[in-house]
Amino acid sequence: MNQPHAFEQQLASSWPPERWSEVTVLVAVSGGADSVAIARAVATLRVSGPGRLVLGHYNHQLRGAEAAADEQFVVGLAAGLGLECLVGHAAEASRSSQGDGLEAAARQARYEFLQVAAEQLGARYVVTAHTANDQAETILHHILRGTGLAGLGGMRRVRPLGPAVTLIRPLLDVSRHDVLDYLAALGQSFREDHSNADPQFTRNRIRHELLPLIEREYAPQVVAALLRLGHLATDTASLIDSLTGPLLERCLVSEDARGVALDCRPIVAQDRHLVRELFLAIWRRRSWPLQSMGYAEWNRLADLALSDRDDAHVFPGTVRAQNSGDRLTIER
């Protein structure tokens, strides 16, 4: 029996096949190197069991013939691996945004497709191929935007995608170099998305300009340093979560489809940082957009909660916070 490739060993160590071979798994595959590599590795590592392995591809229909070719490539990859493939297509409306707004809208549409597809399949897990390089780019992007402590943690390795579906990113400690080495060893082709070089997207400028500059001129190990920062921030955020949960229980007056009402009296005596983290927890609990919420916005919320005069403010995503005496109402 051939020795598993180092990439397959890394994946198996991060996410042992025994944990998922008994259930249905949906692997998100764009056709790019990272997702093709994880599809090949998961198919190889799968052990005998009742679970199904399915590839999921979302065609954003933003790149014409190139996007259609990506779709056909993924369908062919699935067929070659003897796997099912589900394909989703974006509506025309998703093209209305530009730049980072377009990227955010595309990301949201993609995850909505993956959630619906997973629920239709009865899948327990949705797997994406984000690597250590993606994580470093995310953390640096959050720093530039003015993130809170949780943002320094970058992408979470595991998070709920739906009531019965878990999103998992098992390659967050695996480098893009390791991905390419694996594909080369297999002789496996992949698709290049030329929009990934488009400088209108901040993420692309970070990837192709800023990180290489930092590596070249300031810190050759910047990716590893950012990953260490992310791990430390995640550990610290977990500690803070253990404090914000009980605080939210003490403050929460009511909650409905529109939003929440809080009693501000338990908040007044708290450290300001904990107050900001409390609101971040509420945003996550409500699945409100976090993309445009930075330090200034979280601080403005803390001002409202700690103020003794009536005031109101509308935050990104049309979330309105109204302070009336000891009560703060936040609704979308």
Question: Over 80: is that where the pLDDT of 100 sits?
Answer: no
Task: State residue 93's pLDDT score.
Answer: 45
DSSP state of 315: E
Pick the range with the lowest mean pLDDT from 155-164, 192-201, 274-283.
192-201
The pLDDT confidence band at residue 162, using thresholds 50, 70 and 90, is confident
- The pLDDT score that the predictor gives to residue 308 is 81
Report pLDDT for 97: 53
10 Å Cβ neighbour count for 299? 16
User: What CA–CA distances, in Å, run from 317 to 283, 289, 309, 321, 327?
Assistant: 11, 6, 25, 12, 22
Residue range 227-242: average pLDDT? 92
- The proportion of the chain whose per-residue pLDDT surpasses 90, expressed as a percent, equals 73
**Burial of 257 per CB tally in 10 Å (0-12, 13-18, 19+):** exposed
Handedness of CA 32, 37, 38, 43 (dihedral sign): positive
The token pair at 6 is 């180092």
- Tell which residue, 296, 301, 304, has the closest CA to residue 283: 301
pLDDT in tens, 52-93: 999 999 998 888 899 999 999 999 999 999 999 999 998 764
pLDDT for position 290: 82
Output the DSSP codes for 188-236: ------GGGG-TTSHHHHIIIIIHHHHHHHT-TTHHHHHHHHHHHHHHH
Cβ proximity of 162 and 57 under 8 Å? no
From the number of C-beta atoms within 10 Å of its C-beta (0-12, 13-18, 19+), residue 33 rates as buried
Cβ(298)–Cβ(276) under 8 Å? yes
**What is the percentage of the chain residues whose pLDDT exceeds 70?**
97
Helices then strands (H, E): number in the chain?
A: 13, 11
- HEC string of 7-70? HHHHHHHHCCHHHCCCCCEEEECCCCHHHHHHHHHHHHHCCCCCCCEEEEEEECCCCCHHHHHH
Q: What is the mean pLDDT of the chain?
A: 92
> Do the Cβ atoms of 168 and 38 come closer than 8 Å?
no
Domains recognised in the chain with CATH numbers: 6-210 (3.40.50.620), 256-331 (3.30.465.60)
Query: pLDDT grade, residue 111 (50/70/90)?
Result: very high
**What is the pTM for the complete model shown?**
0.82
Element (H, E) at 303: helix 295-306
Q: In this predicted model, what pLDDT tens digit does every residue of 2-54 receive, in sequence order?
A: 788 999 999 999 999 999 999 999 999 999 999 999 999 999 999 877 889 99
The pair of three-digit structure tokens given for residue 232, joined into one six-digit string: 């430390």
